[in-house]
Amino acid sequence: MFSGENVFLKKPFVMNEKFLHFIWKNQLFDSLSFVDFSDDHVTVLDPGFPNEDEGPDFLNARVKVGNVIWAGNVEIHRNASDWDHHGHYASQAYDNVILHVVRHADKMVYHSDGRKVPTALMVYDEMLEANYRLLLETPAEMPCKHNIEKIEPVILVPWLTRLAVERIEHKMKYFLHLLEKNCFHWEETLYQALARGFGMNVNALPFEWLAQRLPFTLLAHYRHNKNQLEALLFGQAGMLTDDEGDEYYQMLKREYEFLRHKHHLVPLQKHVWKFMRTRPGNFPTVRIAQLADVIYRNPFLFSSLVEEGNRERMCAVLAATASSYWDSHYVFSMPSRQKQPKIFSVSSVHNVIVNVVVPFLFLYAHQKDLPSIKEKAIALLEDIPPEKNKIVKKFTEAGVVPANAMESQALIELNKKYCALKRCLDCSIGTRIIVGCE
């Protein structure tokens, strides 16, 4: 058994049906024996596959009873009487159940046509329940904190790889939604996704709204004039509405008013932007100026990041520096005490590559059937240092130290989709802990 206090003996543990499904699916039981009509040994040839819809728990199972092979569906309950409690006795959807597997045989049950349901008692090592209960009742966000470092690399490495890909695919679905809204205009979609990335977590949505209000096709007309680019971006962000302001502000305001009337533009409301609880270097004003620099320096943004881009090229594209005005400002017309260039940091560049460019590459590769692009995306993640945040720190302290962004993304996905939800039965790490090892 893995380490931890053995609470199994403190009070009875009423296992949930999902745990019984886990035992059945992985064939971890010691024996199956009929409780009513036969002494024949039951051998599971194929447990079937879990049914995600209404109906029996496992479909297309195959079991051997004596010398006869049965094929059909399997229903699993804690108590045999749950068959009646769940109303299966009156449902024809359960008439094709070939085997009713239970932990406690407390009642004989029947199909809707009156036939007796073949019911088998499932017996397994109670230590499996003890290990599972340790995970469920651990109050920490990370149930396997004291055991995860014991997981063998042959189990951990493939699982983390799968989690990293799952995380990319989840992000990819969002970008697919944007692509469909943009009628499959790839460059426009990349621009919107990139703008969202520049907003980080706090201002991601306002940045996306800004990009939707200001199409890339329009910005491209003014890509050779940085003042006009900034005027369009700040103006559409709703940040050029004040009457008073310094010379730079007034210049942008005049430029924007001309372009707004020319192109019939409708700006955002200024209040959508969040400055509170944000570091000055991450203020949306600074980020907008940096985004303008990326567009100014890279008129062919799509080819730079997708078709031609390697890690060095991508970092060069995204290594933005706000215009010189922002050396001494974080907001308009209020000079700061310190004067320094507002450079999009290396960690911020890596963040955008991980959260925007890589899933966008996956989407492009999927839509265009270009597996080499997916390989490039994976190589990018493996070439970028691991992220530094409280989730990664938690796993590092538990003995799982990510070597690169591929692995840190996997740990973030593990924490969000499995640990926080106590989905230990669906996790390769949780499965290994439940089964136990020396």
Rounded CA Rg of the chain:
29
333 Cβ partners below 8 Å, 6+ apart?
244, 245, 246, 249
Predicted TM-score (pTM) of this structure: 0.86
**Cα 274 to Cα 226: distance, rounded to the nearest angstrom:** 25
Say what the pLDDT of residue 14 is.
Answer: 59
Say what the pLDDT of residue 38 is.
Answer: 64
- pLDDT, averaged in runs of 10, over the chain (438 residues): 39 73 94 75 91 94 91 95 95 94 92 93 92 86 87 94 96 96 96 96 96 95 95 98 96 97 97 92 97 93 84 91 97 94 95 96 95 92 94 94 96 94 93 82
**6-29: buried (b, 16+ CB within 10 Å) or exposed (e) per residue?**
eebeeeebebeeebbbbbbbeeeb
Instruction: Say if residues 22 and 8 touch (Cβ distance below 8 Å).
Output: no
Indicate the SS3 state at residue 97.
strand
Around Cβ 388, how many Cβ atoms within 10 Å?
11
Token duo for residue 269: 């409301």
Say what the pLDDT of residue 11 is.
Answer: 46
133 Cβ partners below 8 Å, 6+ apart?
7, 8, 13
